[in-house]
């Protein structure tokens, strides 16, 4: 074989090896993408759809403290004074109507989040409904309603329930908020505001007397990168053991794990995990499962999907 032929042969063999290596890398990349996709797919699923036309502007979701596979949801502004119990598949189990005290005869204004936790009676579970929305910064006080969960609730499709109420105001001026959480470790109610570039985290003691008035305590200010309004915080939850924390914006979910018994406002200062999240139009509700191993997200809109995600 001539020298030129040898050279051509060597070049041909080198190109062949390069194509084999390139093909191998492409296959590895495709397998990696497929694995990642399947992993993300396994980590979330649609558990169901909101079945009732009454639940068309859902803004919060929270797991019951006494019933298995039961979650409380509510509509935001424009609805009457009520909240609902549903299954993870979205079936409506019961509707709960409440009324304010005589001193404040108007119906609820803008309920934006719901939570479940401890209350004034040991061994009992309570639902907390946060009438905390203030789009136009006009409210002199906000109202948090507390309802004691009862076994009889799911026996009736409609219930009239009694509400204790706490009126709160901000120490640093009026603002809008859509996030309310219950911390079972330090027995605190948390409110996180929505529209500021740096969010403000407020607390007040969880136990309150009916018609009590308080000023919230500003605990921390936290900045999230991104563009407004996509990064506005619209909901949050703390797991029932107090170890895990979620905040949700229109575009992302943020997750933290608490270190020891540190205050949640300190936990939120650390860099969060940002798990996969499928965007939902007006997605404003997030809530842990009772064991904290997963969480549900849903949104405004008639017959909206309910997504289940595994906790990171």
- The per-residue pLDDT for range 250-279, each reduced to its tens digit, is 999 999 999 999 999 999 999 999 999 999
As a whole number, mean pLDDT of residues 302-312 equals: 96
SS3 86: strand
> pLDDT tens digits for 23-45?
555 444 544 444 444 444 447 89
Q: What is the pTM of this model?
A: 0.86
Alpha-carbon gap, residue 18 to 264, rounded angstroms? 54
Q: To which H or E segment does residue 255 belong?
A: strand 253-257
pLDDT for 10 = 57
Find all residues with CB under 8 Å of 111, minimum gap 6, and list them.
Answer: 59, 60, 74, 75, 76, 77, 79, 83, 129, 130, 131, 132, 133
At residue 50, the 3 state secondary structure works out as coil
For residue 210, what are the CA distances in angstroms to 138, 147, 184, 265, 312?
24, 11, 20, 26, 38
- 141 — phi, psi (to 5°)? -150, 160
What is the pLDDT confidence band of residue 104, given thresholds at 50, 70 and 90?
very low
Question: Are the C-beta atoms of residues 96 and 153 closer than 8 Å to each other?
Answer: yes
160 C-beta neighbours (distance < 10 Å), count: 10
Which pair of tokens denotes residue 179?
């996030």
The secondary element (H helix, E strand) that includes residue 188 is strand 188-193
Task: Say whether pLDDT at 134 is over 50.
Answer: yes
What CA–CA distance (Å, rounded) separates 214 from 134?
A: 18
Q: Could you say which DSSP state residue 279 is in? A: -
Q: Each residue of 177-186: pLDDT tens digit? A: 999 999 999 9
Q: For residue 22, give the H/E element and its range.
A: helix 3-42
Position of tokens 């070049």?
11
pLDDT digits (tens, 9 = 90+) for 65-81: 999 999 999 999 889 99
Question: What is the per-residue pLDDT across 191-205, written as a single tens digit (0 to 9) for each?
Answer: 999 999 999 999 999
């Amino acid at each position: 074989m001539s020298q030129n032929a040898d050279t051509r042969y060597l070049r041909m063999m080198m190109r062949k090896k390069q194509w084999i290596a390139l093909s191998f890398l492409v296959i590895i990349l495709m397998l990696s993408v497929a694995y990642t996709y399947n992993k993300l797919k396994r980590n979330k699923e649609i558990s169901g759809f909101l079945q009732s036309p009454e639940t068309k502007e859902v803004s919060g979701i929270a797991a019951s403290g006494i019933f298995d596979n039961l979650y409380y949801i509510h509509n935001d502004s424009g609805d009457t004074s009520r909240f609902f119990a549903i299954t993870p598949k979205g079936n409506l189990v019961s509707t709960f109507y409440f009324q304010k005290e005589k001193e404040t005869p108007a119906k609820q204004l803008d309920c934006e989040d719901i939570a479940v936790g401890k209350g004034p009676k040991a061994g009992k579970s309570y639902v907390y409904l946060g009438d905390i929305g203030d789009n136009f910064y006009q409210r002199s006080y906000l109202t948090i309603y507390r309802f004691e969960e009862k076994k009889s609730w799911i026996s009736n499709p409609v219930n009239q329930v009694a509400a204790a109420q706490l009126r709160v105001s901000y120490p640093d001026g009026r603002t809008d908020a859509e996030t309310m959480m219950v911390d079972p470790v330090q027995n605190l109610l948390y409110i996180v505001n929505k529209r500021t570039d740096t969010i403000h985290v407020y607390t007040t003691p969880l136990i309150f007397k009916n018609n009590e008035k308080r000023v919230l305590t500003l605990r921390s200010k936290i900045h999230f990168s991104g563009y407004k309004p996509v990064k506005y915080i619209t909901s949050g939850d703390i797991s029932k053991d107090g170890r895990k924390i979620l905040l949700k914006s229109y575009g992302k979910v943020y997750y933290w794990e608490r270190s020891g018994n540190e205050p949640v406002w300190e936990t939120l200062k650390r860099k969060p995990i940002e798990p996969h999240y499928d965007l939902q139009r007006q997605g404003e509700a997030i809530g842990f499962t009772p064991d904290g191993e997963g969480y549900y997200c849903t949104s405004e809109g008639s017959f909206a999907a309910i997504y289940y995600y595994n906790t990171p």
